[in-house]
Chain A
Amino acid sequence: MDTDPSDGRQGAGDPAAAGREAGPRATSPSPLVGLVLVAHDPGDWFEEVLTAVGVQDHHDLEVLVVDAGRRAGLAERVAGILPWAEVVDAPNAPGFGAAANVALGRKRRAAFHLFMHDDLVLDGTAVRRLVECALEVNAGVVGPKVLDGADPRYLEDMGCWVDRYGGGVPRFESGELDQGQYDAEREVFACAESAVLVRSDLFEAVGGFDPEVRFLDGALDLCWRSRLVGAAVVTAPTAVGRSVGGRRTRRRRTDPQRLHPRHRLRMTLVNQDPVQRSIALVELALATVFGALYGLLVGRFRHVRGLLAAWPWNLRRLASARERRATIAGHFGSDHTRLYVRHDVPHRSFHRAVTGRASVGTGAEAPGRLRLHQLWSALLGPGGITLLLGAAVLGFGSRHLLTRGLPAIGRFQALPDDALDLARSWWTGWRPSGTGVDAPPTEGFALLGLLDGPFPWGSEVLLAAAVLSAFPLGAVGVWRLVRPIGGGRSRAVAVLTYLAVPVPYNALAEGRIAPLAAYAALPWVAQRLAIAQGVVPYGRRGGVPGPGARLGGLWGEVLVGGLVVAAAAGVEPSTAVLGGVVLAGLVVGSVLAGSPAGVPRLLLVAFGACVVASLLHLPRLDRLPDGDLAAAFVDPSHWPAGDLGAAAILRLDTGTFVAGRLGWALLVIPAIALLTADGWRLALVVRSWMVAAGGFGLAWVLDQGWWAGPMPAAELVLVPAALGLAWAAAVGAAAIGVGTLDRAFGWRHALPPLAALALLVAVAPVVASSLDGRWGLPERGLDAAVPVFEVEGDADDIEGSRETPRVLWLGEPSVLPAAGVDLGDGLAFAVTDGPADLLDQVPLRLVDGEGLSGVHDAVRTLLAGTTSRVGGLLAGWGVQYVAVVERGAAAPYTAVESPAPDALLASLHRQLDLERVEGLNRAVAVFANPVAEPVHAVVRDRTGRAVPVDLGRPGWGRLEATMVVAGSYRAAIGPEGWWRIEDHDGEAEPVEDGAPVLATARVDAGDRLVLVLDDDRTSTGSRTRQLAILALAVLATSWAHLGRARSGLER
């Protein structure tokens, strides 16, 4: 390759002389080549282009420069270098095709036309080699190999293939080195756009360039038509040129997002046979619709505009399309589809048409596969291998849970019979728990309900998978969080540390969902906060960003952060509070480390993210003014003052997963990091330690008994501590080895083995615990101890007259099978209809339903010992059983034990209207309430007896009651005003004091009542708004994020 511009200058103005210097081959007879150089207001590079033309070693070369631009002075520039070249004007900037077509009207004897863009610097032998290639393979069209002008080691263009819609498919991925890897295969569908050598008779036969195709795709169209008439199209790999013009595609008239769709449609109309054309047009119309939606979703408005504008643009030019089609009409019907079918994978062609991303190939370099390759590359590094090992241990340790499901302990209760009830409850805001409450489940529960249908392995496995997904989600979250810190080693240490903390295993053993959800979500929240601060290695402040760091704009970070916080809060609301702990840790840590850079931005983004998240959770926030803020979200737990102690807190040792003194090993690597790191690593490790200190401090404060509200689980508040330790451990792993080998032998050389030993010690208890395959969970849960609550008989009966018994649960909050209302002194109560299910696992408050308050008053009376007929107090609320839970699972399975207070049991035993149900498991003491009234009943006029009605539930929020006797119908289902009677003409009666919370009505035997949830009370409207806000937020985030990506690309 010879690209020395000095050669051009030496031969400038005398092609004959240049030919003579080229040696014996230059003196041989050669076909005349008419070089048409279309210039469109070229830049400074144009002289280099002209010089390269001037030094070509091809003898017979005529140069015609077409001035298709608007600026004057081009002729002088040409004359200065190629005085023998002819310059013509193409007025009104008609575009490349129309400008190049001036060759059609000129009666020349040239055998070949060489059409060039004004930004291609040809090698000195390029023209000759193009001609030789054309003659050698008898090709009609030949193109050069085009290299990157900025760095000629990289390929720029070597022709392309085409898909079914006329979209060009490059032969290689952008950024590939030129190693001759594509030189062997000469045949292409279309040659490089920058320079096209065409046999002149062929050019005449196909009607030249399409004048309507401007700047882009002209060569593609020309090649397509050439192939239709039987000409071969090849790339001459020895003919080399360099593209020196740089990127000008953002100019409106040459924007590929605008031009490609219209050209694709144009070529389909002109170059396809009628049948293929019809099919392609339909598919393109569909692709336009999807593409417009896609563009709107991701904020690519130019893409949308280009897609939509392509149709009227082509409709206005149907006549010219017909004319051009007529030129080669006789050639349709040939087997031309074979030309592109090789690279036409329909769904990828469609994807390309929809997204407009045609810059990648269709083979192994496809984007999905590229990402997969990147993922595999990452997984095969130390961090990835750690993830895989962690996954193997977790999978091994969870094998029985995944195959047999979770035991029903704590919050791990079965999905409802109809799992969609979770979503319906979320949508309407009503829940049957606690005699009916205005306390919907979280978005996470609703999503779980939606997933149950398509999930192929049953509800039990779905629940187990959902719960256990906390481990991989948390691990991947930490993996991503620490990615910019360093290599795979630091990722490995962080992931192992995070997986080794006892917090999730204790939460699992105690059946707690909230800590597991926080464990999964908090690393993702922390990552957004770290990026928001933008301090090295997460941003440019203070140094060079680390690997994988993504630099975002303010609004993009606010929106993404808001979505992440909203998603985390949607699964577990308290995660938002823990995010606050992380934020505080980062701020305090930054100040303490003396590097407060980025703190204002961090606070700004955090505030904005909170606003966004709050907007996304407006329906939930609606509940807050009515009662205790904490009780609305915190599942109460029993946590006596001083129960844990400082040492256990520091070891994160809160439950049955006991690492003992080995738990101190978790602190070793973070401590080493704090003592040995320097520079940005020290700043980061200080921030990490402050995050951990926030978690430890919160746990300590609660352990001191200084918090008067409902106590969260210890595992929950320690999640920030676990995260901080893992974060600091990652920094420690990255910092320990820095410069150690360069130093003289000393104490620092002992740190790596010490850290490795500490890591092994920390991980060992987890590996040991994995052996039983259930992480210490019992084989059966509490459900094995309380079969009495199941409705006997066939399933049909359940929909019929039999009511599911209503159960009052009493006991320590964590062993209750439903989220309870705190009664103090380690006692809570919950009310469920039948055995508890997942709908009953969301915290609620007394203000959420009148029935709950009524039951609460009765329980208080019971505890105070001021009644001997508590059954009567509970009867009006339909409570048929009182169950005192003393173990998390049925005996003899291992479980958390929490004996009920003697006073409670003694008081229950002294009730004259409660009947102890004997013969049950010692995990639970059950008392039947023989005086309980049915939830739906008719109170007979004369006797005052409550007679049950035939009840059916045709749908969520709709009950059908058929009366068997005459009297007053009443239902103990709340909250007040949520249910209204439909389809009944009876006289409405006022609400009675006490039990009935629904307006009663006079009924006769055989009457049928329909109870429906009142639309004015349900949250369907606010849920609709919530979804709309979510869509807007996602849209805005997508726009902001892609805008950031594009701007990054331009940089």
Chain B
Amino acid sequence: MNAVRAPAVIMLVALLIGAFAFAAESSSPERTDESVTALAEWSLAGAAADLWFCEGPTQRAAGVADRVVALVNPTDSPAEGRITVVDESGNRVSRTYQVEAGTTFEFRPDPFVPRADYAAVTVEAPSGGLYVDQAVLGEASNGLDRGPCATSTSSSWRHPWATTERPGTTAVLLLHNPFPGNAVADLRLVGDLGRRESLDSQGIVVGSRSLVALDLGERVADSEVVSAIVDVRVGQLVSALFLAGDGVSPNAWEGVDLTPGLPGDAGRLFLAGPGLSDRDAGAEHAGPPLDASVVLLNAGGEAVELEVVPHPVSGGAFVEPFRLVLHPGRREVVDLLGDGRLDGIGPFLLEVRSFGAPTLSAALVTREYRLPGDDTGEPVRPGFDVNSAVDHAATSWRVRVDPSSSATATLVVANPSRAGIATVQLAVVAGPGSDAEADAERPLPAALELDPGTLVEVPLPPGVVEVESSAPVTVLVREVGASGRTGWSGVAGAGTVVRPS
């Protein structure tokens, strides 16, 4: 038999060359641990089902006059879902709700659990699109706190700052388990005398669909600063810290604050500066604080060298960072105004950087403030406020100012990235409807440009405002009124959250 070799060899060589030349690039996605979740995220209507978790006191709690949960539907279609209210006694009540398009549905948890001091509310929004926040008013208008509810659950929560000073302060850690399985959490408390762990802080069982309220004053009594580290062994939780002071404590803490925890540790954190320029220049927007501290907590197992870096908006100023070493399980309070290095630098962005393990959490604590337009120089009480640092930014945010509030609100937008200008656009997506005059008084700028490491403050009209940015930014709202001063982070758009570069 005669056979030829050349055609086969040529064909095989051609196939070989073609296989290598036209080979597709590997499309297998590389798995990274860069995924980050904001404490609260909203979804477009119909895109996903959202769950909102609101924890807080009821009117029965000491120092609390009122607590209102608001469901805002800024979309064009009605929203339906279910509200479940649980208390620390194991009671659970569930109701369905419907919020018409462009309207707000407010309710108080108290009637659902009439004998409870604390109540957690789970709002199911099967179609998404909802914005849920809550407000707590201190007794006799003594303090105010407002902020969006959380949408995240986590297996680790950090609360860098609380106080159990006696007399006159209340600090209650709220652990909410909205899921059907029991959760088991370990609690570490760090007081003035150092870290405290007790047997009753280990293996705390948070039953399915229940709320546990832990009075920190009973565990670490009379401590000027208490930090709480919650590690969940089994399941996932939502955590918040409720603080109330009547002004008679040694540091005269007065007012109420409901601070959601930080869901985990980070190596790089951002805080919008407290607006110190106003202290000297007079109030333009929100009332400036008269004191400010950054509380740093290292929940990890090794010492961390870190620095707190102020980034002034005015590029020419240089401020020496605050450098320190934080041992495992310890916290440190940095008084921003104590040594005067921030005097006169104007608005600034605070960055907390770890040179070691990413096991940090941080919060900005302010206490005294002056009302906008008040030139008496006297501080106004009540009104302490705790703002948690964030490790993320996003290109889409929503914030809401209660139209019924008489307080003055300011939007703080910061660009935490090291490079890249952020072009920010603001728009009211759901206003109060009847308050056109208020809109006219506080018009939103059409667009803002933010250089890296800078921030901008603009007055905020009532209603839901959407912040769209070409680069990831952080968004904070400050509100100052007769009842007190409060601030909260915006709600990030789902899918737009990233770690800043």
Contact = CB atoms under 8 A, between A and B. Distances in A.
Interface of A: 535-536, 542-543, 589, 592-595, 597, 640-643, 645-647, 649-650, 674-675, 678-680, 682-683, 686, 689-690, 693, 696-697, 700, 703-705, 864-869, 871, 899, 902, 906, 909-918, 928, 930
A916 B235 contact: yes
Report, nearest first, the 4 A-B pairs whose CB atoms are least far apart.
Answer: A915-B181, A542-B1, A683-B3, A640-B28
A850 B51 CA distance: 30
B101 interface: no
A597 B1 CA distance: 10
A645 B35 contact: no
Interface in B1-27: 1-5, 7-9, 11-12, 15-16, 19-20, 22-27
B2 A916 contact: no
Contact of A643 (B28, B51, B181): B28
Contacts of B31: 899
Q: Which of A697, A700, A914 is most buried by chain B, counting CB atoms within 10 A of its CB?
A: A700
A650 B24 CA distance: 15
B412 to A, nearest CB: 29
Contacts of A914: 179-180
A917 B234 CA distance: 9
B24 A705 contact: yes
B153 interface: yes
A595 B3 contact: yes
23 contacts: A592-B8, A595-B2, A597-B1, A640-B26, A642-B25, A642-B26, A646-B19, A646-B23, A649-B19, A650-B19, A674-B8, A674-B9, A680-B3, A686-B3, A866-B48, A866-B128, A868-B50, A912-B179, A913-B180, A914-B180, A915-B179, A918-B181, A928-B181
Interface size class of B (residues with CB under 8 A): 35 or more
A645 B23 CA distance: 7
Contact of A915 (B43, B122, B180): B180
Nearest to A536: B1
A352 B51 CA distance: 83
B18 to A, nearest CB: 9
Nearest to B28: A640
B164 interface: no
B49 interface: yes
B124 A594 contact: no
Given A865-B49, A912-B51, A592 B11 contact: yes
Contacts of A680: 1, 3
A700 B19 contact: yes
A536 B5 CA distance: 17
Interface in B47-64: 47-51
A373 B3 CA distance: 38
A642 B181 contact: no
Contact of B7 (A592, A703, A913): A592
B3 A912 contact: no
Interface string B182-209: 0000000000000000000000000010
A866 B236 contact: no
A928 B29 CA distance: 30
B78 interface: no
Given A594-B2, A866-B48, A914-B179, A642 B7 contact: no
Contact of A918 (B12, B27, B235): B235
Nearest to A671: B12
Interface in B120-139: 122, 124, 126-128
Contacts of B124: 868-869, 912
A912 B178 CA distance: 7
A437 B34 CA distance: 41
A696 B178 CA distance: 53
B246 to A, nearest CB: 38
Nearest to B236: A909
A864 B19 contact: no
B51 A910 contact: yes
A641 B1 CA distance: 43
A867 B181 contact: no
B10 to A, nearest CB: 9
Given A646-B23, A693-B15, 11 more contacts: A594-B2, A594-B7, A595-B2, A595-B3, A642-B23, A642-B24, A650-B16, A686-B3, A697-B15, A703-B24, A864-B48
A682 B26 CA distance: 37
Interface of B: 1-5, 7-9, 11-12, 15-16, 19-20, 22-29, 31, 35, 37, 43, 46-51, 122, 124, 126-128, 153, 178-181, 208, 233-236
Nearest to B152: A910
B8 A704 contact: no
Contacts of B233: 918
Contacts of B26: 640-643, 645
A642 B25 CA distance: 5
Contacts of A703: 23-24
A649 B37 CA distance: 40
A902 B48 contact: no
Given A641-B24, A928-B181, A918 B234 contact: yes
Contacts of A915: 179-181, 208
B27 A641 contact: yes
A453 to B, nearest CB: 43
B11 A866 contact: no
A473 B9 CA distance: 32
A869 B122 CA distance: 13
A643 B26 CA distance: 5
A679 B1 contact: yes
Nearest to B181: A915
B179 A595 contact: no
B178 A589 contact: no
Nearest to A700: B19
Given A646-B23, A679-B1, A915-B179, A686 B8 contact: yes
A283 to B, nearest CB: 55
Nearest to A869: B124
Given A913-B180, A918-B235, A679 B49 contact: no
B12 A689 contact: yes
A103 B16 CA distance: 86
A675 B1 CA distance: 17
Contacts of B28: 640, 642-643
A682 B5 contact: yes
Contacts of B1: 535-536, 542-543, 595, 597, 679-680, 683
Contact of B24 (A592, A675, A682, A704): A704
B264 to A, nearest CB: 13
Nearest to B182: A915
Nearest to A917: B181
A415 B2 CA distance: 53
Contacts of A689: 8, 12
A650 to B, nearest CB: 8
Nearest to B124: A868
B209 to A, nearest CB: 8
Contact of B3 (A640, A682, A696, A704): A682
B12 A866 contact: no
Contacts of B5: 674-675, 682, 686
A498 to B, nearest CB: 20
Given A646-B20, A916-B181, A705 B3 contact: no
Contacts of A683: 1, 3
A912 B7 contact: no
A898 to B, nearest CB: 10
A589 B236 contact: no
A594 B233 CA distance: 72
A679 to B, nearest CB: 6
A868 B3 contact: no
A42 B24 CA distance: 80
B6 to A, nearest CB: 9
Contacts of B48: 864-866
Nearest to A927: B181
B359 to A, nearest CB: 21
A257 to B, nearest CB: 40
A913 B180 CA distance: 6
B30 to A, nearest CB: 11
